[in-house]
Structure formats: structure tokens, C-alpha cells
Structure 1
């Protein structure tokens, strides 16, 4: 590609009761209010969630401004309807229920997948990066497979669930893996190979349509992009910008490897799944698996550093290397969402402290 690829980001949020933090079914009302202020919120599978989507962005600074704008409008729309917006992978409280949003498609999903759908009150972040064509998107997917779990550890934001420590930094990742079409994708030989596997999944009923192909990275069904959808929704806008910038640099590095005729390392599904579980369990302050070369266990922060060095030429070309290293230093020092959740929980064992911490992080920087 002759210019830097564009990017776009989707963030999913919980709507909760301000006084107790329980999920509250008001997505239609919140979306209607946001629309009055020029923001179209997407309705998710459960009526306790909304999703924002940025415009196509050229720079990390423009992306930050857009994410701040969207969070501001969504937050104000939630407040106007007696709810609180939370950027969290899972509700820290014990949900009474996750009512399914009453659209024909969501009803079909709920009928087909039962309890998996009815417990789907989880929030992720999806990053789109432009690629030249679907064949390149498949190559990028293969190239990213050994690194995807690094993004799980970086953005882990679902440690506290049902008023308890889940034992995982990203328990959302564990729950998400119950869908037959979710998780790390296989290694694909071509776009035709990808299409054949998708067709098989749809024939079997494991996915009802292309929109239900929930792999952690996939060619977008709607845009000329590759979509990385492996992460919890980050606690703060700055962490979302960091995530998107790293993914963009990873895609750029992969596209150049494709153009140079390099062959991505073909790893087994077992290796990839173990690395993902380790990242979801340990998060940023634990250990992770390095899969390129002899598989080895490293501190998660060192593993993240290896990825940054791998994509450093792309980051420097974008002018984002200093921003990335500064923000990584802040996240390591202050903690990501999961680490902050656990600190809040351990103070008194009170879920109100966790909700307060998440609420503050969600709106951090909105006054800029």
C-alpha cells in the first residue's frame, strides 16, 4: 500500500444502574437520546449494551478525539435515561438477567444458542484496518495469530464478575469462547479456504450468517478491512488508542511481509488456544507464551515489548512510537482495567468500589 492504512474502532459498553451497578435494559432509550446529539449507537444482542463506531480515521490523535466524543455523548445519553455507561468486559455484579434485544435476527440467535446468548452481556473492542484485498486480509490473519493473545493481556478488563474475583484477568475471553464460531481462527491457505470453512459453519448451524463469524481476527464482512476483535473493551480511551495503534502497526508489518514473499509461521490450534487462555488468566501482570521459535513462558510485559519491537518500523513511520512507549509505561505503572478492578475489590471487598473505579476510567479524559 502506498499510504498508511486507515482504521476504525468499535467499542461496546454496559448500561448499569447508577446505585448498584446491575445491568439495566435501556439500550433503545439511550440510543434514541444519543441520536439526537448526532451519534448512532448500535444495539447489541442484549438490551443492557450499546456500541459506538468511529468514522474512518487516519491518525491516532484523530482517533483519540473521536473516541472521546463518542464516549461523551454515550455517557450523557445513559445518564439522561437513568443509567450509567461502563467500559468493562463483564458486569462486576450478579446480573438478574440479560434480556435479548427484540430484533428478528437476535431472536433467532437466542432461539438457536439458548443460554449462551442469554448470558451474552459481555463487551469487546473491534479494530478495523484497511487492507488491499481479501487475500491480503487472510495473510494478515495468519501473521497475527501468534500475537493476538498479547492484546488480550494488554486490555484485560473483566477480572471481577458476579461480585467475586473470577481468577482471570479477562474472564470475558473465557465466556466468549463458548460460541462455536469464536476464538482464535485457524490458519487459512487462501481466501477460498476461509470461505469454505465459513460455509461449513453456516451449514452446520454453528453460525447463522457471516455476521456470526466471531473469530479474533477476520476479513470484515462489510468493509475492505481486516478486523481484530480479540480484546475486552479497554477501560480508558487512551488504552483503546494504544490498542488500535499497535494493531494498525501489526497489519502494516504483515502487509509488508506479504509483499516481500515471507511465509507466516504455521502454528497448531492447540498452541494458539493455550496462549490465549494464559493471556486471559494472567493478564498484563502475569506471564505469557512466546510462540515464534521454541515456545517459552515470559513475563507478559516482556512479550508485549517483543511485539512492539517487531512493529517498531511501522510505528516510527506513523509517528506513533513515542506515544506507544509512553502509554505502555503508564499502563504498566498504573495498571490496566483488570488490575485496577482488583485493587478496588481488595480494598474492602465492596462491589461499589469496583463500579466507581470503572465509571471513572470510562470517562477519563472527557473534559479535554
Structure 2
């Protein structure tokens, strides 16, 4: 049995944000100016960097052990980012896609990004995506593959929980995560295959790069994968989140799932085509559809699958000290909806102005789960 003390299971959170105009919520290539300001701040400078587009910025947290550390890191950065955006008259949005876009996005100058753009060609025009990535420490790459096999069946419900991109080109797509649909245009997306061990994983991913299906190992875009930079299992299914609380809830839930999978018996491996279909349905319906319940193996309401996931990881949540917080936060999400639901409600209630306000503001204290 692996240790489940929080201090023994470090994790990290990567958040991507996009600078948008407040009137139409269009991408604005302001990341370089904002980056130069944030770099001078010793609290966040070491953890902020550019992204694929000149309208994007990424925050990669320090190594975290507890939710208190996560709150301090993410709320601290978001507060600073919001003030920088306000000073230049823009909205720094945590959303899977911009509400509107009427041009080919301005790129971030970078030799690697240039190689990627040349590789994916016109796919780059719609690659205006912002995601939340969660890294969870694993004791070895073989252990990481064991955990990766174990979490595969839960990836659709994680996508449903983290859905936050209902709009594209100023229209409602009918999907909870249109970002997830656009991402399917890449050669390596969706659910990772089932692997015997790290050697098979490494040979398989190297072959994908050799074939030209990915520019490099770091560009393999499965919803969960082994990190090539850190000793972590990286879960990438989530859209960028509206607020820090949502991002941290998903990160803590992910950590508990990885810990549970590390300690579980080897997974038999659900078929890739079934999981891929479920990911499509999760992107379309969010928490309002049906998914396969990995516990029963039968289709069930997505909300029931969420509850099944919480029950499945509850021992790890308790051991990590996160059970009360995560269960309260998930209950609130089931009542109040995902980011996609909140974005639709804001637009319906007050138009683009209300949606812009939702994207720029932090939640009020009454909306925050108790630490």
C-alpha cells in the first residue's frame, strides 16, 4: 500500500488564460506585455510563461502538497493577472475557448511553436484553446502506467465535470466543451491506449513521433499521459476553469483518483473506441447526459457517475485530508452546474456584458467551499 499522506503525494496545476476584449470577448495579443509585468513579481514570475498564441499566458504552479498551498498559489496569481488585465482594459479569462473569434489568431514567436503550426497547418487557425492540466507525482514510470490504466475509465466524467467552453464564434455550440471537440482534430488525442508497462508506453509514444503524428513527446495530446519533464501522471481532460476553487477541486479529485489507481489491482482496460465515444458524449452534454459507470459497467446519469467517482476515491480523499472540501465542492457543482452552465446562464441573463463580468471576477465568499 503506497502512502497517501498529502506530503507524500505532491501535485502541480497548470492553468491557461486568454486576454479578451471586454466588448466582444475577442482574443487580444497582449500576453507579451502582461508577461513582462508579471515576470518582475517575485511571487509569480518564476511560474508564468507564454503559450501557443500571443493572446495566451500560462501559470505553472510550484510543487504543491496541500489544498491550502494550492489556494494561496492560484488565487495569488489570478489576482495579479486580473489587475494586469484591468490596467490594459482587457479580461483575463479562464475559459476553454474565447466567446468569439473573427480572424486567424496571432501566434507566439517560438521555433517549437512554428514547427507545430507547420505540422498541423489549418488546424492552428482554430487552436485557441485554454486548458487545466493536473500533475500528480508517481513513484516510477511503471507505477505511472499502472495508474494511467486505472484512471482511463473515469476520464469521460472528469471531462464532463471540467466542461467550460460552450461558445465558438459568438454562437452556442450545443456542447459543454467545444474545446474538446476542436482538440480531436489532432493526430494524438482522446484516451490513451492500455499499456503493459513503461517500456511499452515509451516505445509506443516514440513510434508516434517517428511517424510524424506528433512533433515531439511533449506534444502527444492524450487526455492523460506520463509527463516527459516531471515524475508525474498528467491529466489534461479539463477546460480552463472560471475560478481557482473549481481548478483546485478538480486537481484534488484527480490526485485522489491517481492515488486510488496506484493502490488498485491492475485494470483490465476498457476499449479505446468506447471511451472515445464517451468522451464525445461528455463534451456534448457535460453533466446533463449519460456515461458508463465504471463501477457497474452500465450506462448511468452523468451526475450518478460523479457520485460513484467520489465514493470510489473517498478513502484516498480522507487519507489526503481533502474529503470534506472536495465533497462539498462537488455537491455545489452538481447544484450550480459546470462552467459551461454558468457561462450560458450569464449570457442569457445579461448578454455579453454579464458574460464578461463572469469571466473577469473572482467568486464571492458565499460561493467558495469551506477550506
TM-score, length-scaled by structure 1: 0.93
Instruction: Note the C-alpha offset of 1:323.
Output: 0.8
Q: Is the 8 A contact 2:91 2:356 kept in 1?
A: no
Q: Is the 8 A contact 1:85 1:359 kept in 2?
A: yes
- The answer to whether the aligner puts 1:364 opposite 2:366 as a matched pair is no
Q: Match of 2:28?
A: 24
Q: Match of 1:335?
A: 337
- 1:46 and 1:190 map into 2 onto residues whose CA distance is 35
Q: Match of 2:355?
A: 354
1:156-175 equivalent positions in 2, closer than 5 A: 156-175=163-182
Which runs of 5 or more structure 1 residues have no equivalent in the other structure?
A: none
Q: Match of 1:235?
A: 242
Find the partner of 1:279 among 259, 279, 282: 282
1:39-118 equivalent positions in 2, closer than 5 A: 39-40=44-45, 41-118=48-125
Instruction: Note the C-alpha offset of 1:146.
Output: 0.1
Find the partner of 1:5 among 9, 34, 37: 9
Q: Tell me, what secondary structure is at the counterpart of 2:167?
A: coil
- 2:101 and 2:219 map into 1 onto residues whose CA distance is 27
1:185-334 equivalent positions in 2, closer than 5 A: 185-257=192-264, 262-296=265-299, 298-334=300-336
Instruction: Note the C-alpha offset of 1:14.
Output: 0.9
Instruction: Note the C-alpha offset of 1:29.
Output: 1.0
Q: Is the 8 A contact 2:13 2:61 kept in 1?
A: yes
Find the partner of 2:191 among 174, 184, 191: 184
Q: Match of 2:142?
A: 135
Instruction: Note the C-alpha offset of 1:214.
Output: 1.4
Instruction: Note the C-alpha offset of 1:150.
Output: 1.1
Instruction: Note the C-alpha offset of 1:121.
Output: 0.9
Q: Is the 8 A contact 2:9 2:137 kept in 1?
A: yes
Q: Is the 8 A contact 1:46 1:118 kept in 2?
A: no
Deviations 1:240-298 (Å, cap 9, x if unpaired)?
111011111011111111xxxx22031111111011111111112333222444331x2
- 2:271 and 2:35 map into 1 onto residues whose CA distance is 42
Instruction: Note the C-alpha offset of 1:90.
Output: 0.5
Instruction: Note the C-alpha offset of 1:210.
Output: 1.4
Deviations 1:121-175 (Å, cap 9, x if unpaired)?
1111010111100000111111000001111111110012211111100111101
Instruction: Note the C-alpha offset of 1:365.
Output: 5.6
- 1:81 and 1:153 map into 2 onto residues whose CA distance is 34
Q: Give the stretch that moved more between structures: 155-164 or 1-10.
A: 1-10
TM-score, length-scaled by structure 2: 0.93
- 2:333 and 2:275 map into 1 onto residues whose CA distance is 25
Q: Is the 8 A contact 1:87 1:236 kept in 2?
A: yes
Q: Give the stretch that moved more between structures: 281-290 or 189-198.
A: 281-290
- 2:256 and 2:343 map into 1 onto residues whose CA distance is 29
Regions of 4+ moved over 4 Å? none
- 2:102 and 2:208 map into 1 onto residues whose CA distance is 31
- 1:58 and 1:225 map into 2 onto residues whose CA distance is 14
Q: Tell me, what secondary structure is at the counterpart of 2:22?
A: coil
Compared CA separation, residues 152 and 288, structure 1 to 2 (3 A): same
- 1:79 and 1:34 map into 2 onto residues whose CA distance is 14
Which runs of 5 or more structure 2 residues have no equivalent in the other structure?
A: none
- 1:162 and 1:19 map into 2 onto residues whose CA distance is 14
**Number of residues paired by the alignment?**
360
Q: Tell me, what secondary structure is at the counterpart of 1:239?
A: helix
